[in-house]
Homo-oligomer: A and B are copies of this chain.
Amino acid sequence: MSEKKRRAGAAAAGAASSSKKPRAAASYAESLRSKLRPDASILATLRSLASASASSSKSKAAAKSLADHDPSADPTSSYIVVADQDSSSVTSRINRLVLAAARSILSGRGFSFAVPSRAASNQVYLPDLDRIVLVRRESARPFANVATARKATVTARVLSLVHAVLRRGIHVTKRDLFYTDVKLFGDQSQSDAVLDDVSCMLGCTRSSLHVVASEKGVVVGRLVFADDGDRIDCTRMGVGGKAIPPNIDRVSGIESDALFILLVEKDAAFMRLAEDRFYNRFPCIILTAKGQPDVATRLFLRRLKVELKLPVLALVDSDPYGLKILSVYMCGSKNMSYDSANLTTPDIKWLGVRPSDLDKYRVPEQCRLPMTDHDIKVGKELLEEDFVKQNEGWVKELETMLRTRQKAEIQALSSFGFQYLTEVYLPLKLQQEDWI
């Protein structure tokens, strides 16, 4: 039925375009449609991509043993990489900390927490791991010191609250945590900061502490998973899609016959892909965080990538911000660096819309936008970033963007017809293996 729908759409598109006045760009864009090979041939390309991704995941997993060895548990390691832990493991880590504090008090030495530094100067990018991590550098937070007594108390309180949340098997937000003891915390930035300290102290991710962020991502396509025990079939989620759950540890039973994951920057493009049921023509999982990626969507993408070993292709705007979004998915953001191992999805391919596409697809001049001074500044900064520098193709594209001083949104492709994205642009990209 979806095949039928698609053909009907294509026929209508043909009719619509033939009734248009001939314009150079539009007719060239339409001529690209004839370059499309049969879907079976494009699918063969995608199948080899998927199997290559599965085998490279294996070899990379062997190379990236630092994270697997859980260095957080090893105080002699020079880096802190926090890891996902189950509730009972986190609970026993808290118990060990509290027991140590109690022993210290009983022996007359009072108590003190050893808190890892999360300062920017303490963050490094490890090329081997392709991630930002924390250098191990701890400071003491003694209770019997005027300067740190309050913070030590707050730390003890947060540990006890996290313990209670884990024992009850529920999830709460940072805001909930703050409101349980406003008098002590004063304002939310304090309980948030100590929560991050606790996460580093325990060597577990914030989601392992059952403190979750609000989700804004959605997913559709060839994916089945269980959300808190409910089986979700993402091919049957209509146009709206399934909201990505805020608590990743309630996600289980991930299954898929997709050949790739399509990561989309914006919800308008997501809606087009969902309505056209793009995933039925080219088996894929489509997800978006609707702009700046939130923690829940990043965790979800990583989980899909790790379990399904599928290639991830990204569709973002052709501007520095689009690339910045890719960098957050791939390398993490500076303020969550210690958690980067669990939030990042390395090896995302930049499918489009790339600066070189603007000329290649003859996107009309009036659909391109001039870059602002701020855009140019951000673009130049990105050229200095390690994750860009290590990919020659990305450097070239970024240089093209900065040279032409032009940017364009995914929606600019609508100038060739509302369904040009799903009917011509993406199929042709996939056919030509045009990702970098």
Binding site for B on A (CB under 8 A): 9, 12-13, 16, 164-165, 167-173, 175-183, 212, 214-216, 218, 226-232, 235-247, 250, 267-268, 271-272, 275-276, 290, 364, 366-367, 409, 411-415, 417-419
Contact = CB atoms under 8 A, between A and B. Distances in A.
Nearest to A240: B245
A167 B245 CA distance: 36
A415 B367 CA distance: 52
A415 to B, nearest CB: 5
Contacts of A409: 175, 179
Contact of A290 (B216, B245, B414): B216
Question: Assembly of this chain: how many copies?
Answer: 2
A111 to B, nearest CB: 20
B411 A179 contact: yes
Given A165-B418, A240-B215, A179 B275 contact: no
Contacts of A168: 9, 12-13, 16, 418-419
B176 A418 contact: yes
Nearest to A231: B236
A170 B243 contact: no
Contact of A367 (B182, B240, B414): B182
A246 B250 contact: no
Given A12-B167, A173-B411, A242-B242, 10 more contacts: A170-B276, A179-B409, A182-B415, A214-B271, A215-B240, A216-B290, A227-B239, A231-B236, A238-B250, A243-B243
Contacts of A241: 243
A358 B109 CA distance: 44
Given A232-B238, A245-B240, A411 B12 contact: no
7 contacts: A179-B412, A180-B415, A183-B366, A218-B243, A237-B242, A238-B245, A239-B250
A315 to B, nearest CB: 15
A168 to B, nearest CB: 5
Nearest to A266: B214
Contacts of A414: 172, 175-177, 179-180
A402 B240 CA distance: 40
